[in-house]
Each structure stands twice: as structure tokens, then as C-alpha cells.
Amino acid sequence: MTPYVVSALTTASILPAVVMLLSNFKSQPSTFRWLAVLLSFSFLCDVAAFLLYHSGMNQNAAGAFYWLFSTIMISGFFLRLVPQSFRRSFLVMNVLYLLFALTNIFLIQGARIQSYTQSIQAVIIIILCIGYYYVLIKELPTEQIHRLPTFWITSAFFFSYAGKLVIYAVVNYLTQYLKDNLVIIMNLHNLLTIIANTVFAYAAWLNRKQQRFILSSRSAS
């Protein structure tokens, strides 16, 4: 499979979750609205990268744009899942991240792959995931954790960004010193994204099913 096809598959893998989340966007809790916005944004940035690539322009611009704002959306997803006292920390973290991402674009890595920003983003997401896991263990909100959509979403973030952190940490070294064409590494990255998107789709389906059940039991009573 060519890298082009793998990338196209990766972009397509976002669609099931996006469709399910957008179909009942208004009735969703804010957590899922943020996820819908994030995945839609991710899809649009991927499409933009394709277009830039085909126009002979630097496709990294779309990526830089995605990494600039995606952390805010992911923080938005986690905002309601962790205690209220962490809100200020979320704000500070996002402001600092945004400042660093802008500095990286204009002063450090420029038009190259934003590996520093990506690494920091991965660390932030892993910390947020661990924070949510801690909340789950402390509060035990459900008897069967596998029926909790947010658990699946967090696990998808945790799994994929832990793998991606390794990739982001070495991508600069690979491109600058080993002059590698990054095909294998990018395929690995895409595989992680496809896995995460599949889990997002499952979580969106689970959430939709549970919402329908709640609505039908309410109307029955």
C-alpha cells in the first residue's frame, strides 16, 4: 500500500465517528461536542493537506494549523471530565501551549514538521488521560467501565498518543540526520490514528445507543 493510500484511509477512518457525533450534535453533552469539533477539524485539516500537496505547496502548513488548535479542543473534551478546580490549570496550560506552538512555527521549526509541538501535545494529552483515569478510579462512576464511552475515547487518546510521542520524539532526528523518507514511521503514525479513530467511532456509537435508551425510558415513564 502506498503512503498516499494509507493517508487517505486514515482520513476516511475519521468519518464514521464524525457522522455519528454530528448527526445529533445539539443533544450531545459538551464532552462529545468537543470531540465532534476536534474530529471534524482533523478531517478538514487532512483534506487541506491533500489539497496543498496536490497544489505543490507545503502540506505541513495544514498540520501546523491543526496542532495549533487541536490541544484546545482535546482540553475541551477533558474539561468536564475532571474536577472543576482544574479549569484554571487547563487555561494556563493551553495558553502556554499556544505560545510555544506559535514560537515554534515562527522561530524554531518553521515550515518543517512541528515535532516539538507534537511532542508537547502528546505529553499534555497523556497527562490529561492519566488525570481522567485517576478520577475514574477515585469516583467509580459505573459498575461496568467498558460501557462508558468517555473511557474508550480516553483510552484511544492514551494509546495512540503514547505511541505517537515516540514517533514525534525521533522524527526530527530521522529527517535531519538520517535523511529518512519517513514512510515506515508515517505508516506507523497513520496506523495509530486509524486505531484511535475506530475506537472513537465505537465510543460515539455507544454514546448514541445509551442516549437513545435514556430517551426511550424517559418517554416510557
Binding mask 151-180 for another protein (x = CB under 8 A): ----x--xx--xx-xxx--x---x---x-x
Give DSSP secondary structure letters for 96-119: HHHHHHHHIIIIISTTS--HHHHH
Q: How far is CA 188 from CA 42, 85, 127, 135, 160, in A?
A: 18, 37, 22, 31, 10
User: For residues 101-160, which are near another protein according to CB under 8 A?
Assistant: 133, 136-137, 140, 143, 145-146, 155, 158-159
- Name the minimum Å distance from CB 163 to another protein: 4
54: nearest Cα among 1, 23, 8: 8
Number of residues that bind another protein (CB under 8 A): 23
- Name the minimum Å distance from CB 149 to another protein: 15
- Name the minimum Å distance from CB 78 to another protein: 16
Q: Which is nearer to another protein, 61 or 82 (CB)?
A: 82
- Name the minimum Å distance from CB 194 to another protein: 13
Q: Burial-class residue 195 by CB neighbours within 10 Å (0-12, 13-18, 19+).
A: middle
Stretch that binds another protein, among 26-34, 96-104, 107-115, 184-192 (CB under 8 A): 184-192
- Cβ within 8 Å of residue 27, ≥6 positions away: 211
Q: How far is CA 176 from CA 113, 163, 171, 172, in A?
A: 11, 21, 8, 6
Binding residue (CB under 8 A) for another protein from 192, 196, 203, 206: 192
User: What is the residue whose three cell numbers read 487555561?
Assistant: 91
C-alpha cell at position 181: 523518507
CA 129 to chain centre: 12
Stretch that binds another protein, among 62-70, 97-105, 109-117, 182-190 (CB under 8 A): 182-190
- Name the minimum Å distance from CB 151 to another protein: 8
Residues that bind another protein (CB under 8 A): 133, 136-137, 140, 143, 145-146, 155, 158-159, 162-163, 165-167, 170, 174, 178, 180, 184-185, 188, 192
